[in-house]
Amino acid sequence: MARKRSLSTVQAALRILAYLAEHPEGVEAKEVARHLGRSLSAAYALLNSLVEEGFAVKGEGRYTLARARPAPKAQGFLEEALEELYLRTRERCYLALLTPEGVRLKTRGRQGQPNPLGETLPPEAHALALGKVLLAHGVLPVPPLFPKTPYT
């Protein structure tokens, strides 16, 4: 049977994340190195990468799992992806972020200017494909439904 391709560095980073989740009190780099069976310098490099990307936190020589990944980097990437999708399709595109506060929306397309992230879903969201997905997955409460077209 052929061996599947994998990246040992990615596997190591995922193992570190799982290890950090098992140790909420935090761990030292030497513990991570021992756990992975790698050098101390490799453990530091992996841990520092996880800290830079917002997945781990370093405090007083111990590393812990970050509670939530910072939004700015991810948000910037998603907004770039939204713009790229619009430029390739020239069709109206939507970006919805699910946050504890609710759904944050950004749109890009021919029917108006780009809307800032943070706009709430319009009352007729059920008529949009995005709204149907959010309703189907129970993210949005079912509002009074009014057809926008004879086919809605």
pLDDT for 66 equals: 87
Whether 30 and 43 have beta carbons less than 8 Å apart is answered as yes
pLDDT in tens, 93-151: 878 777 777 777 788 876 555 555 455 666 666 667 777 887 787 777 776 777 878 88
What token pair was written down for 30? 């030497």
**Residue spans per domain, the chain:** 9-65, 71-136
pLDDT for 121 equals: 63
Going from the C-alpha of 69 to that of each of 25, 56, 146, the distances in angstroms are 19, 9, 38
Topology of the domain comprising 9-65: Arc Repressor Mutant, subunit A (1.10.10)
* 19-37 average pLDDT score: 94
CA dihedral 13, 64, 55, 19 (to 10 degrees): 30
Number of residues that this document lists for the chain: 152
Going from the C-alpha of 132 to that of each of 46, 86, 108, 126, 139, the distances in angstroms are 40, 20, 19, 5, 10
pTM: 0.45
pLDDT for 110 equals: 65
